[in-house]
Structure formats: C-alpha cells, structure tokens
Amino acid sequence: MEDFPEARKPAYKLTIDFGPEIGVKKSSVQITKHYTKNEIVDKLVIRVVNFPPKQIGHFLSEVLTLGLPDENGDVVLLMPTKKVPKGARMF
C-alpha cells in the first residue's frame, strides 16, 4: 500500500490478494479520512472484481473497493463481521 498523491482527492493505492482463484489485483481508495495505511493492512474488505478496470491518472484500478459515505461524505469501508476466506463470493 502506498499514498496516491496524483489522485484528485487523497487516496491510497492498494495491492490486494484475493487468493489463488482470482490472484493479486490493484485498487485506488479514497479512505484517508478514516483509515491510516497500517489500520487496513490484512483487513477483509468487500470488493467487486468483475467490473472493468478504471484508469486513474497513471494508475489502473482493477477492482472496486466498497464503502458508504459518512455524514461528511467520507468513505467508511464495508467489511465482513466474521472471518471469511480470501476471494469469497457475495450472494
């Protein structure tokens, strides 16, 4: 994980391991208001992998990381409440 200073809004660049079936993907997330880089390392977060990649400046975001806006419009991540396997599918 690293800062993404070229992004229009403060963001991080993430490298995410989805397990052997999907592999490793990259995502850009605007979560700097609620999360430090250390706070989200090894956290399970809900993401969408079957959307087309999105070019953000010189960075290609391959997955959509899901969150909800708080009262100020800052992103709060959607996370499972129990441990689930990497790459588990939503249904």
Q: How far apart are CA 29 and CA 61, in angstroms?
A: 9
Q: Give the per-residue pLDDT at 61.
A: 95
Binned at pLDDT 50, 70 and 90, residue 13 comes out as very high
Q: How far apart are CA 41 and CA 1, in angstroms?
A: 8
């605007």: which residue's tokens? 30
Residues in the chain: 91
Quickly list DSSP for 37-77: HHHHTT----EE-SSPPEEETTEEE-SEEPEEE-TTS-EEE
- Asked whether the predicted pLDDT for residue 1 surpasses 90, the reply is no
Q: What integer is the mean pLDDT of 2-14? A: 90
Identify the structural domains of the chain with CATH numbers, from first to last.
Answer: 2-77 (2.40.50.140)
pTM of the model: 0.85
pLDDT in tens, 46-88: 999 999 999 988 899 999 999 999 999 999 999 999 999 988 9
**Closest by alpha carbon to 61, among 27, 88, 35?**
27
